[in-house]
Amino acid sequence: MKYIFVTGGVVSSLGKGLTAAALGTLLENRGLKVALQKFDPYLNLDPGTMSPYQHGEVYVLDDGAETDLDLGHYERFTSTKLSRKNNTTSGQVYQQVLDNERNGVYLGKTVQVIPHITDEIQRRIQVLADDAKVDVIITEVGGTTGDIEGLPFLEAIREFGLEAGLHNVCFIHVTYVPFIKAAGELKTKPTQQSVAKLREIGISPHVLVCRCERSLDKELRQKMAMFCSVPYEAVVEHKDVDHSIYEVPLMLQRERLDDLVCRVLGLTVPAANMAPWQEIIRKLIAPQHRVRIGVVGKYIELQDAYKSVYEAIIHGGVANDCGVEIEKIDSEDIEKNGPDKILKGLGGILVPGGFGERGTEGKILAAKYAREKQVPYLGLCLGMQIATIEFGRHVLGLTGAHSTEFDPATPHPVIALLDDQRQVTKKGGSMRLGAQPCQLVMGSRAQQLYGSFVVLERHRHRYEFNNAYRERYEAAGFSFSGTSPDGKLVEIIELKGHPFYVASQFHPEFLSKPDAAHPLFRGFIAAAHLQLHKKAL
């Protein structure tokens, strides 16, 4: 088994996760089996209870683990299936160690960061190594070198590296080489200092991946190689990409990152065949068609809050050879200014998941606009609940219809908690989470798009469609094209007689890939493009 550890220096948000994922792509395309793992130094047990302002999107896995959004990159860039074993936080490590202490596992010893916390971290690498049956494990350590809370993780990987043996471990340090405008120069000092910090801890990186806005010249590379004690070829440039994050594997291949890593690890494998990946990039850069999609949410100003949604839209575009321009629309703007001006000319409207009342009325207006003006609509989780509320209020005449999440006293609780959920008071991990089967109705749009009758989709929500209203909705053309196999839970709705009005209680965006767009996103973009085309004729 070979181990790659990816650490980060100088500043956060350097795209360590992307680097790790892109390296995963390259190694897989060289015929290696790869597993990816993320360590997060914060004390929360998982990001499930964190605000999107703190953390961006919460990425949900099949087993219901609520994880860091980097795991989304891992799944989109490689063929690995992840589980809760692939994301460890300090909180989980401490919880395990404290449980052990209460259970007498440490036999009267003083429990300490070294060795108890560091051993537990190493155990988690080992568990993955034993389970995953792969050739290489790539472990990304979150945070930045020098953070106090990251130290136990760095100490743990240092020790792990010693035990695994010289040719079985590769340390990659992702660092930043800023361009200082006033001097007109790229500066290497932050990298030198960050590597020095890492060496103080006892880790000497084999490879430096340098994030930069401009190209590194020979002299700069030589300087960093010398001061950071790495070979010249081990200084890898990772410049900002022009069009899409999916260019990163190709760029890193040009810089020979995968060759370098294979050499350090003593792996003799053929070069990666990236031709299929190149075709994806071609469709991203020079698509045959174009369409504009509005995403109506409340965390629009945050880059990362709807990460997987934006990615899945782009995948839907790739599948249709269609470039997608994503218009990020604040639902409160629709409340203030009305939908007509803001939504006019869009090829499709998407309402993503969300929690809390703020901005819901704007989303309801957007769903109404899409329904009435025959604009393709895709609703995800809250987006399905919004479509239900809108239809109840404006088509069925259920005045004041709402979700009990937003209005507990509503006369028409069309979205509500199921009886067995009412007792739940704990916040973390208490939702309907993870992959669950959904049965599709023969001949429905969803069924046609999936091309099968039962699908597994990932959930993360508390509230459900209220079955007391089912008949009234169905009679008015609001059809339930996907349900749980026992028929009790509504999973997909669609509108009859509309070009494309589909919404799901689950999150399809978590199962979409650049080379295999999720069927609902593929269908949504196809419909959006077709509608625009028809209007133009």
Q: Is 54 helix (H, G, I), strand (E, B) or coil?
A: helix
Provide the minimum distance between the beta carbon of 382 and ligand GLN in the complex, in angstroms, as a whole number. Answer: 3
Count, residues near ligand GLN per rule CB under 6 A: 10
- State the sign of the Cα–Cα–Cα–Cα dihedral 355, 359, 361, 363: negative
Is residue 353 helix, strand or coil?
coil
Nearer to ligand GLN, 462 or 472 (CB): 462
Site string for ligand GLN, 484-503 (x = CB under 6 A): --------------------
> 342 CB contacts (<8 Å, ≥6 apart)?
294, 329, 333, 334
**Alpha helices by DSSP H, 202-247:** 218-228
Asked if 194 and 224 count as a contact pair (C-beta separation under 8 A), the reply is no
Decide: is 355 part of the binding site for ligand GLN (CB under 6 A).
Answer: yes
Q: Which of residues 398-417 bind ligand GLN (CB under 6 A)?
A: 405
**Cα–Cα distance between 4 and 30 in angstroms, integer?**
16
Beta carbons of 246 and 280 less than 8 angstroms apart: yes
Among 284, 382, 414, 532, binds ligand GLN (CB under 6 A): 382
Q: Which is nearer to ligand GLN, 54 or 288 (CB)?
A: 54
Residue placing its CB nearer to ligand GLN in the complex, 20 or 417: 417
In this complex, which beta carbon is closest to ligand GLN, that of residue 77 or of residue 521?
Answer: 521
The DSSP line for 271-292 is PP--HHHHHHHHHHHS-SEEEE
**Which of these ranges, 243-251, 309-317, 352-360, 479-487, lies near ligand GLN under the rule CB under 6 A?**
352-360
Shortest spacing between CB 295 and ligand GLN, in angstroms: 13
Which residues have C-beta within 8 Å of that of residue 72, sequence separation ≥ 6?
57, 59, 307, 308, 311, 510
Single residue of 323, 354, 359, 434 touching ligand GLN by CB under 6 A: 354
Name which of 391 and 463 has its Cβ closer to ligand GLN: 463
Which of residues 376 and 379 has its CB atom nearest to ligand GLN in the complex? 379
- Looking at residue 80, the DSSP 8-state letter turns out to be P
Q: How far is the CB of 381 from ligand GLN (least distance, A)?
A: 3
Specify the 3-state DSSP secondary structure of 288: coil
Q: Provide the annotated active-site residues.
A: 381, 507, 509
Whole-number Å distance between alpha carbons of 507 and 309: 9
Give the residue with the Cβ less far from ligand GLN, 124 or 298: 298
Which stretch in 125-133, 214-222, 318-326, 348-356 sits in contact with ligand GLN by CB under 6 A?
348-356
Residue 532 has φ and ψ, to the nearest 5°, of: -65, -40
Nearest distance, CB of residue 360 and ligand GLN, angstroms: 10
CB count in 10 Å sphere of residue 261 = 25
Query: For the chain, what is the largest distance between any 2 Cα atoms, rounded to a whole number of angstroms?
Result: 80
Residues 137-176 that bind ligand GLN (CB under 6 A): none
Query: What are phi and psi for residue 49, nearest 5 degrees?
Result: -100, 5
CB under 6 A: which stretch of 119-127, 185-193, 332-340, 457-465 binds ligand GLN?
Answer: 457-465
Name, in order, each residue with C-beta under 8 angstroms of 145's C-beta and a sequence gap of 6 or more. 7, 8, 9, 154, 173, 194, 197, 198, 201
Site track for ligand GLN across 59-88, x = CB under 6 A? ------------------------------
Interaction between residue 461 and ligand GLN (CB under 6 A)? yes
Task: Find the residue with minimal CB distance to ligand GLN.
Answer: 353
Residue pair 444/479 in contact by the 8 Å Cβ criterion: yes
Of positions 460, 498, 518, 522, contacts ligand GLN by CB under 6 A: 460
User: Interface with ligand GLN by CB under 6 A: which residues?
Assistant: 353-355, 381-382, 405, 460-463
